[in-house]
Structure 1
Amino acid sequence: MKKLSLRTRVVTGAVAVAALGAGTFGAVSATAAPAESAAAAPAAATSATSATSAKNTTESTHLTIDAATKAAQAALDAAEKENQRITVAVVDRNGNTIVTLRGDGAGPQSYESAEKKAYTAVAWNAPTSELAKRLEQAPNLKDIPGTLFLAGGAPVTAKNAPIAGIGVAGAPSGALDEKFAQAGAAALGR
């Protein structure tokens, strides 16, 4: 092993100490920055809140995961009582799926159909059986992405506004699908 000169050892040691010091300083600076930012955040939020008046904002109501699951299970139970194999989907106001339950033996097409029916019901705040009738006057409605204008979707409302949609697919008729979706919606009122 080659022996290093005194000068090389001193320079190498100084570089190591400098690197260690820079790393420590960087770590202290990195942990100190969020504390300073956190202290400034409430002040910024307060000034932003005072600048925003109530007429510039709106509140919305959302269905909880527990409520969505309760509704989906009620729809599935109603279908099982009639020996029907269905899939039920519950979506939020924005059409995002909260929960989907696929019953034993439900067809593979029922999963996507249930989600689309739920989305369609909440988007128009109407049962999809009613919306299917509107296609006679406006046949282009069916071209809107993500929608399905077949009976089986029911909206869920709170404070006279849509907050969720329940879609059911897989029964031999849209009337049955919608009956089970309505059973899911009714479970939320209990």
Structure 2
Amino acid sequence: MKHVKKTSRTRVLTGGAVVAALALGGFGAYSASATGENTAAAPAAVVAAKADAKNKNTTRTTHLTVEAATKAAQATLDAAEKENQRVSVAVVDRNGNTIVTLRGDGAGPQSYESAVKKAFTAVSWNAPTSELAKRLAQAPNLKDIPGTLFLAGGAPVTAKGAPIAGIGVAGAPSGDLDEKFAQAGVASLGK
């Protein structure tokens, strides 16, 4: 095999030709892609949307809006303030993620975390936490589930019978009062 000595000029010209070829090839692919997107993408998106609507492997869930969660939290806090109670309020979504919290003037430092846990507990079991606290006699290990608090003061928010949020209240002198205020928040969503 015969070796040909390449000069630096030959290398530069060869390299430049390769870069130009790649650039033109990329431009051609981009142009073809852009043209294809403009003409075929819309029908493909419609077909994909129809397929998703009929997909038996997915579900749809209902969630409170931030506006609705804030309205419920404020109604809860207002109900407590009417009775001169200093509480914290938490509203969580179906997955237990906090949507909004309000800490009333003078609420104790422990009330914030307790309100979140009560809301989480209520939505997790779709039941008021006062009812769940009664279940501890038959299943004492329930209290060991992380993030839960089995004290009265949490109320689930439902839509079509399914839990979509939880409202938790803490800070009043009794769990019964906390739960009464949480129920006022739930009731405000029906108005």
Same fold (TM over 0.5): yes
TM-score by length of 2: 0.78
Q: Distance in 2 between matches of 1:173 and 1:28?
A: 73
Is it true that 1:19 corresponds to 2:19 in the alignment? yes
* Aligned: 1:126 with 2:124: no
Corresponding position of 2:118: 117
Partner of 2:4: none
Task: Classify 1:100/1:23 alpha carbon distance in 2 versus 1 (closer, same or farther; 3 Å).
Answer: farther
Tell me the residue number matched to 1:142.
143
Deviations 1:98-141 (A, max 9, x none): 21222233233222211110111111111111111111122111
Q: Quote the residue 1:173 is aligned against.
A: 174
The range that moved more, 74-83 or 38-47, is 38-47
SS in 1 for 2:155: strand
Cα distance change on mapping 1:107 and 1:179 into 2, 3 Å: same
- 2:67 is paired with a residue of what secondary structure? helix
Determine if the alignment matches structure 1 residue 79 to structure 2 residue 95: no
Residues 13 and 173 (structure 1 numbering): CA distance in 2 closer, same or farther, change over 3 Å? farther
Shift of 1:144: 1.6
Q: Which amino acid aligns with 2:169?
A: V
Q: What's the CA shift string for 1:141-189, capped at 9, x where partnerless?
A: 1112221100110111121222211001122221221111111111111
* SS of the residue 1:167 aligns to: strand
Matched, 1:67 2:68: yes
CA distance in 1, matches of 2:155, 2:84: 21
Matched, 1:153 2:154: yes
Cross-structure match for 1:103: 104
Could you tell me the TM-score, scaled by structure 1's length?
Answer: 0.78
Equivalent residue pairs, number = 181
2:99 is paired with a residue whose SS is strand
Deviates more, 1:93-102 or 1:113-122: 93-102
Q: Which runs of 5+ in 1 are unaligned?
A: 1-6
Aligned to 2:37: 35
Matched letter for residue 35 of structure 1: E
Distance 1:70 1:19, change over 3 A: same
Q: Give CA deviations for 1:54-101 in whole Å, capped at 9, x if unaligned.
A: xx6654332221111100111111222223222111112222222122
1:86 and 1:26 map into 2 onto residues whose CA distance is: 63
State the alpha-carbon separation in 2 of the partners of residues 67 and 48 from structure 1: 28
Post-superposition shift, 1:24? 5.9
Cα 1:21–1:107 change in 2 (3 A) is: farther
2 CA distance for matches of 1:57 and 1:12?
Answer: 56
Q: 1:29: how far off?
A: 3.7
Which amino acid counterpart does residue 8 of structure 2 have in structure 1? T
% identical equivalent positions: 71
AA of the residue aligned to 1:81: K
Segment of structure 1 superposing worse, 169-178 or 7-16: 7-16
